[in-house]
């Protein structure tokens, strides 16, 4: 990864944290929401990586938009896990991190779209 690619670094670190959370949830026999969180939480970084190989600015925006949608889905699952009291595992850190990712991705998408006009 490039040192100056903040979103790539943050989304990769977030994916690693999500994998650790997934392992903890699995150990507590929480299988449904944990799988949803694993899928959407790791997909953010995968889409950010795909955007680096975009063949146009429009394609870049599309990939980053997908990453943003995955981040929002992850936030939903984390909030559901938190509010449902299915487990005592805290997801406060992950909620803060995903909020940061959403903010960064939204800014990237909006700025790039404005530059296309």
Q: How far from the centroid of its chain's Cα atoms is residue 87's Cα? A: 21
* Lookup: tokens for 3: 């040192």
pTM score: 0.94
Q: Tens of pLDDT along the chain (117 residues)?
A: 444 699 999 999 999 999 999 999 999 999 999 999 999 999 999 999 999 999 999 999 999 999 999 999 999 999 999 999 999 999 999 999 999 999 999 999 999 999 998
Domains of the chain: 6-116 (1.20.1440.60)
46 and 31 Cβ atoms separated by less than 8 Å = no
Q: How far apart are CA 107 and CA 68, in angstroms?
A: 10
């Amino acid at each position: 990864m490039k040192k100056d690619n903040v979103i790539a670094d943050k989304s990769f670190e977030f994916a690693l944290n999500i994998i650790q959370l997934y392992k903890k949830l699995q150990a507590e026999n929480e299988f449904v929401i944990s799988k949803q969180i694993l899928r959407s939480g790791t997909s953010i970084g995968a889409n950010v990586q795909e955007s680096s190989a975009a063949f146009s600015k429009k394609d870049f925006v599309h990939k980053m938009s997908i990453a943003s949608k995955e981040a929002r889905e992850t936030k939903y699952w984390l909030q559901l896990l938190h509010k449902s009291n299915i487990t005592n595992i805290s997801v406060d850190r992950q909620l803060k991190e995903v909020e940061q990712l959403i903010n960064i991705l939204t800014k990237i998408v909006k700025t790039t779209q404005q530059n296309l006009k």
